[in-house]
């Protein structure tokens, strides 16, 4: 990259490069499935063309060189001059991988040592060996005469006075010439060594677009003779015909006026013939302005924090206004205050909604990476897999998106390695439901082998024989989420180390989500991830424990019940109660959180309140003192100074300005289940 590019310009270029590289990879995958889709071909050509231009502008010669070659391939495809097989698509996708490496070089200002000339040679070989049929470009013809401005005519006359000659030349290449436009540029550069090339048709910018031109008309002044000029280019074996005529210098007045009015040295007739309706619509589509701006994630976080503080202050204002209204009910000024409070409430709520929407990112940003991954995995494993994606338009908070990427990768890799035996389908689907997002990864393979899972668990000493014999199907399935658990017979590049499913469970729990597994022998397996839309603001149940307020994510709450002391039974030193014909273990939150008894403690009464929560189909009853209501809360991290605290996942600020801690339901449930 050129040294005069500043950091901001570099950042913009890298962001644009990411978009174009993603478009190249995505559309290549689509093209492999539907090789005659003109829309996909146009998208590929535009992405390569734009990336070539921007990389050249920013001084990245390697990227510009390689994208130019790609552009040539796509143009041949658009004009039905190539027919690609699977190996050709491998080369094209590998080229995109090389471009990604070059992009990383630019970001970190380091040279990886990658040789792009080898990649360029592969692309040239690809075009040579996959020719579908020879066809001369519609833009091959070029006029052999030019119009000149008054200044240009004066220059020609001065050249003649100095004893130099002026020639019109027309060069025609053989129809089978490889990369004809490049050859014409090389021939023109050779002629420039012998004199001044004043005009060409097509102009040099057109020759560099990647389109194929087989003819070049040029006008030059030189000290050499006509025969010397012919001899200079005679060594180029691609030239089928060469026409050279000396320029007389007589220019009709009307032609001169037309040239002056046009202000152009190239032929307008030639340009007009080349721009068809289709080309024009493609060009317009390419230059449509996007109404998007890029905002740094840290800046969005700062805006969210300010908005959250406004929400807290708004709640204080509402509480204070309500108190004043009760005390001075008929006061005119107080009524105005109430009206102002309602307007502020409305505006801040609107601001909060818009900031939340701005943080939302479509799942396409993650899903778009997987078709290439599945393709490569299937090819490496020798399996025939059809990959189907739906729901990529569903939006999630940026922080949630970051946490689900690794789990999705591991689920998809497992579907390829364990699910599909030799041929089958993998489906990735996302949908909204009940205020959450459900992301499903399913396959129509052989399904989970529960007997093999039990056998592996026994061999690894994870569970005892007596315990596993009493396990339900769901409990056996949940064993696959344990660290180090794997039923693979050997470790492969795809799976077998027993860390993948553990990462799935850990990451989804981190964002207060759950994973459900459905499997049927011989029919396939489906992993369902239920995750919240955002981590910034959640609905919560507010509870009192020993006089302190705690928030419990509402999506984890199953029901609230009253339990009498006489209903409690102890099983293996654990307090339990019979609920819905099942044994429900109880957890005293004051003990789990190491709290001393305080105001509001009701543990000595005949009955107490239990909040039944669910996690991975396990239910546990949290014993509390009081229910304090339901509210939308702003989630704050406990910070690096406090770090991870057992049983707590964050904090919030209530309308009174006091801090309320958020309970980590998954870890509390696990503390009961593991005992």
The reply to whether 83 falls in a domain is yes
* C-alpha pair distances (Å), 551 with each of 353, 548, 668: 22, 10, 14
Sign of the four-CA dihedral 440, 444, 446, 447 = positive
Low-confidence ranges of the chain (pLDDT < 50): 1-3, 133-144, 250-291, 491, 493-499, 599-602
| Buried-state track 507-545, b at ≥16 Cβ within 10 A, e below 16 | bbbebbbbbebbbeeeebbbbebbbbbbbbbbebbbbbb
Does 495 share its domain with 630?
A: no
311 is written with which tokens? 């929400």
Q: Which domain holds residue 175?
A: 150-283
Q: What is the predicted pLDDT for the residue at 268?
A: 25
CATH for 390: 3.30.565.10
For 379-401, the pLDDT digits (tens) are: 888 899 999 999 988 888 887 88
For 498-529, the pLDDT digits (tens) are: 446 877 887 887 777 888 899 988 889 999 99
Helix 398-414 and helix 500-510, axial crossing angle in degrees, nearest 10 = 160
Q: Where is the domain boundary, 305, 329, 362? A: 362
For the chain, what is the radius of gyration of the CA atoms? 36
Q: What is the predicted pLDDT for the residue at 281?
A: 37
Does 610 share its domain with 586?
A: yes
The reply to whether 158 falls in a domain is yes
The reply to whether 135 falls in a domain is no
Q: Where is the domain boundary, 283, 305, 329? A: 283
Q: Where is the domain boundary, 319, 344, 362? A: 362
The reply to whether 521 falls in a domain is yes
Does 483 share its domain with 548?
A: no
**Distance (Å, rounded) from C-alpha 213 to C-alpha 661?**
71
Q: Which residues contact 232 (CB under 8 A, 6 or more apart)?
A: 190, 191, 193, 194, 224
The reply to whether 435 falls in a domain is yes
CA proximity to 388, closest of 432, 433, 440: 440
Does 118 share its domain with 243?
A: no
Does 559 share its domain with 507?
A: no
Does 404 share its domain with 527?
A: yes
Q: What is the predicted pLDDT for the residue at 3?
A: 42
Does 154 share its domain with 254?
A: yes
CA proximity to 537, closest of 634, 657, 654: 634
- For 584, phi then psi, to 5°, come to -110, 115
- For 218, phi then psi, to 5°, come to -145, 160
86 is written with which tokens? 């699977």
Does 170 share its domain with 243?
A: yes
The H-or-E segment that residue 443 falls in is strand 436-443
Does 636 share its domain with 547?
A: yes
Q: What is the predicted pLDDT for the residue at 247?
A: 79
Domain count, the chain: 5
Q: What is the predicted pLDDT for the residue at 334?
A: 84
CATH for 116: 1.20.120.160
Pairing relation of β-strands 659-663 and 648-653? Answer: antiparallel
Does 490 share its domain with 383?
A: yes
Does 378 share its domain with 502?
A: yes
Pairing relation of β-strands 514-520 and 524-532? Answer: antiparallel
CA proximity to 651, closest of 641, 639, 661: 661
**Cβ(58)–Cβ(13) below 8 Å:** yes
* Cα pseudo-dihedral 620, 626, 630, 632, rounded to 10: -80
Q: Which residues contact 58 (CB under 8 A, 6 or more apart)?
A: 1, 2, 5, 9, 10, 13
**Distance (Å, rounded) from C-alpha 622 to C-alpha 660?**
17
Quote the DSSP letter at residue 465.
H
**Distance (Å, rounded) from C-alpha 318 to C-alpha 341?**
6
Does 547 share its domain with 495?
A: no
226 is written with which tokens? 């006509």
Residue 173 burial (10 A CB sphere; 0-12, 13-18, 19+): buried
Q: Quick one: residue 459, left, alpha or beta (phi over 0 = left, psi -120 to 50 = alpha)?
A: alpha
Q: What is the spatial order of strands in the sheet that 557-564 belongs to?
A: 557-564, 607-615, 618-624, 582-588, 574-579, 569-571
Q: What is the predicted pLDDT for the residue at 290?
A: 41
The reply to whether 379 falls in a domain is yes
The reply to whether 117 falls in a domain is yes
CATH for 659: 2.40.50.180
The reply to whether 329 falls in a domain is yes
CA proximity to 211, closest of 237, 184, 179: 179
Q: What is the predicted pLDDT for the residue at 274?
A: 27
CATH for 216: 3.30.70.1110
């Amino acid at each position: 990259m050129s040294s005069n590019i500043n950091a901001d310009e570099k950042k913009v270029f890298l962001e644009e490069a990411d978009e174009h590289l993603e478009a190249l990879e995505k559309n290549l995958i689509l093209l492999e499935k539907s090789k005659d889709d003109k829309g996909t071909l146009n998208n590929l050509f535009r992405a390569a063309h734009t990336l070539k231009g921007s990389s050249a502008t920013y001084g990245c010669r390697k990227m510009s060189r390689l994208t130019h070659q790609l552009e040539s391939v796509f143009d041949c495809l658009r004009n039905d001059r190539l027919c690609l097989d699977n190996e050709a698509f491998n080369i094209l996708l590998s080229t995109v991988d090389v471009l990604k490496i070059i992009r990383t070089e630019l970001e970190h200002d380091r040279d990886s040592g990658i040789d792009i000339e080898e990649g360029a040679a592969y692309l040239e070989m690809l075009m040579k060996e996959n020719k579908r049929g020879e066809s001369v470009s519609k833009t091959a013809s070029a006029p052999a005469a030019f119009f000149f401005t008054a200044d240009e005519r004066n220059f020609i006359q001065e050249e003649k006075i100095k004893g130099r000659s002026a020639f019109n030349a027309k060069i025609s290449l053989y129809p089978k010439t490889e990369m004809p436009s490049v050859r014409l540029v090389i021939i023109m550069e050779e002629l420039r060594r012998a004199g001044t090339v004043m005009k060409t048709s097509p102009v040099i910018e057109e020759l560099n677009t990647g389109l194929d031109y087989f003819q070049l008309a040029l006008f030059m002044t030189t000290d050499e003779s006509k025969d010397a000029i012919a001899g200079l280019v005679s060594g180029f074996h691609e030239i089928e015909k060469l026409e050279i005529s000396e320029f007389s210098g007589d220019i009709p007045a009307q032609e001169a006026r037309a040239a002056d009015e046009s202000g152009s040295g190239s032929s307008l007739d030639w340009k007009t013939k080349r721009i068809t309706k289709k080309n024009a619509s493609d060009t317009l589509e390419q230059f449509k302005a996007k109404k998007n701006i890029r905002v740094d994630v840290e800046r969005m976080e700062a805006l969210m924090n300010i908005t959250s503080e406004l929400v807290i202050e708004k709640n204080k204002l509402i509480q204070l206004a309500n108190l004043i209204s009760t005390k001075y009910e008929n006061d005119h000024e107080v009524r105005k205050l109430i009206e102002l409070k309602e307007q502020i409430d409305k505006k801040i709520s609107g601001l909060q909604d818009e900031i939340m929407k701005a943080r939302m990112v479509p799942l396409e940003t993650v899903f778009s990476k997987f078709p290439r991954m599945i393709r490569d995995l299937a090819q490496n494993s020798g399996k025939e897999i059809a990959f189907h994606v739906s729901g990529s338009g569903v939006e999630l908070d940026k922080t949630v998106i970051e946490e689900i990427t690794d789990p999705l990768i591991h689920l998809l890799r497992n579907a390829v390695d364990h699910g599909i035996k030799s041929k089958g389908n993998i489906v990735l689907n996302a949908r909204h439901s009940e205020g959450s997002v459900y992301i499903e990864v399913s396959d129509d393979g052989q399904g989970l082998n529960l007997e093999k899972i039990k056998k592996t668990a026994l061999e690894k000493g994870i569970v005892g024989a007596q315990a596993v014999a009493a396990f339900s199907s769901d409990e056996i399935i949940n064993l696959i989420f344990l660290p180090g658990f794997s039923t693979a017979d050997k470790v492969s590049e795809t799976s077998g180390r027993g860390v993948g499913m553990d990462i799935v469970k850990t990451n989804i729990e981190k964002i207060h989500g759950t994973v459900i597994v459905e499997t049927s022998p011989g029919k396939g397996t489906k992993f369902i991830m239920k995750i919240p839309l955002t981590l910034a603001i959640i609905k919560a149940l507010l509870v009192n424990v020993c006089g302190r307020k705690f928030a419990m994510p509402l999506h984890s709450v199953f029901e609230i019940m009253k339990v009498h002391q006489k209903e409690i039974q102890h099983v293996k030193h654990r307090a339990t109660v019979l609920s819905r014909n099942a044994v429900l273990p109880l957890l005293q939150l004051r003990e789990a959180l190491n709290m001393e008894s305080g105001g509001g403690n009701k543990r000595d009464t005949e009955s107490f309140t239990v909040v039944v929560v669910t996690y991975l189909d396990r239910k546990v009853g949290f014993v509390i003192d009081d229910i304090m209501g339901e509210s939308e809360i702003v989630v704050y991290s406990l910070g690096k100074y406090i770090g991870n605290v057992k049983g707590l996942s964050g904090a919030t600020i209530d309308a009174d300005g006091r801090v309320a801690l958020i309970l980590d339901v998954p870890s509390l449930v696990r503390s009961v289940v593991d005992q």
